[in-house]
Structure 1
Amino acid sequence: MKLPLAYKNKYLPAIVDNSVLIYFRPLFEQVHNECGQASGIGMNFTYEIDFLRNLSANVEENQYPTHYCWNFENGGNGWYGVSYFHSFEILKINGTPNVADYGGMSAGGPERWLSGYQEYFNGMHNRINNYYAIKVGTPDGLLTLKHWLNDHIDGSDHGGLASIYSDSGWDTHLLPEGTPEEGKHVIIEWSSVVGHALTICGFNDSIRYDYNGDGIYTNDVDINEDDLINMKDWEIGGLKFANNYWQGTIYADSGFCYMMYKTLADEFGDGGLWNNEVHVVKPKEEYSPLLTARAV
């Protein structure tokens, strides 16, 4: 996804937090290896389709389960995690029932195969047009993501969410005393292990962390001593994300945490985010199948 030229100098607020909107469902705890579906479907798709339909995500009829898509490809017994890219393809060609029709986020466990024509038919109406990557390792890429979070890059009243692959977010630090959001948790670097999915829900241009220990917070000093000054040197600004792992809301700050902008630019394996990219979905607001088949 690229930022339109008209957005290059468009106003952005210093803080966006979409977790406070009605389209953002309450956090939940993943129960198996379905982190990709927890982020990609349970959080991201739920938010985006509810936004288009102007529905509140705090009821099961407007939430979407993890295990319907996960069970297609988890090995038959839940042993394997499944990339949310694969599940997005299912959302394109098949759709998904809501939580009420499925009976819960993970009803029936990792071996269940949904039965019932009406449930499948209802799910056919909940699809995506497509999904997109945003390369966020440069200021231009970050700007694209921030505009997506702010107004979906289309002038909407509210912006969207994004999913990422990373480690489980276990190595958190605290934002320093006397700085914005002091005492809240922050990721200052990612490990080289990619086995978890998280959901980006906002940004804050003012949070800061003193990487080089010089007592000041800068974005214009070569803190990594590579003779360049770029986003890898930024000590100011970060994204807010939600984590459905580790008992849901017990993680970090009631299930939420920050990650520094710097981690978007650093190389993977050297503190950086996997592939230096995030992923967004664009659902269909309405869809009706033209032809269906039912076995009797």
Structure 2
Amino acid sequence: MAAERLNGIIRAFEAGKPAFTCFAKVDKLTAQEMTDAPYDGVVFEMEHNPYDVAGLGDALQYMLNRKKIAETGSIAPSVTPIARIPANGAEMNQFQAKQVLDRGVYGVITPHVSTVEQAYNMVASCRYARPTGAALYEPKGVRGDGPATAARYWGLSMQDYYARADVWPLAPHGEILVGMMCESPEAIENLDDILANVPGIGLVLIGEGDLSQALGYPRQYEHPEVVSAMNRIVEVCHKHGVAVGNPHTNAKNVERLIGEGYKFLMSAPTRSYGVVGQGRELAGY
């Protein structure tokens, strides 16, 4: 019998369905609101909000609903928590991915990833080391070993956590989703090479705000040049079979986004449950 899929975002992707998500602040009240929300996942936002690892650990605990765990028998939160870290890809950071994963999140989104080297480091930071020549060796894992808190949060022994704490879809059994923000002309120019040469990227999330700034049309998301750039990102992601995300999903654009093949749809938290219902109906579930 196959092990229960813990990551609800990956579960949606594997079923050929879009995943509905939102950004959220790292605090207990927000986490409680997210516990019973209709989303597949929640992205704890620590790029523009404070980087608060202790607060993240508390928020994750408040997302556990013991009643639902007892009713469903599932050990995972109903809404899958992942985190966006503050360090840009060019900073070649590793410790922030390690720390949020050690708290128990099921994925990491890194902003401003623009090159193959940056993308490789992003994925490597989410993987444990393994012997040279081992299966799925690349990208070579550099995540430091400290799994106790995460294993406890996932409801697994440390050995079972090791077995499942790898990046999807590189490791089909992996429960960790690695997402890169594509938000500059350089990133778009290099995206084909990135996705062709760096296995383990499960999501490309378009950064519409920064992309529109870089193109000279700040937050003019309907401007033809901005739309063209976003369409290019979608095209390259579809070519490589990688899910592409939009951070500004609403009632007016959800039908179009689903039709264009976006698989990671982010709407405003708590106020946009209707958008999620509308999107699920359009996607046929």
Taking structure 2 as the reference length, the TM-score comes to: 0.26
Considering Cα pairs closer than 8 Å and 6+ residues apart, tell me whether 1 or 2 has the greater RCO. 1
Taking structure 1 as the reference length, the TM-score comes to: 0.25
**Greater CA radius of gyration, 1 or 2?**
1
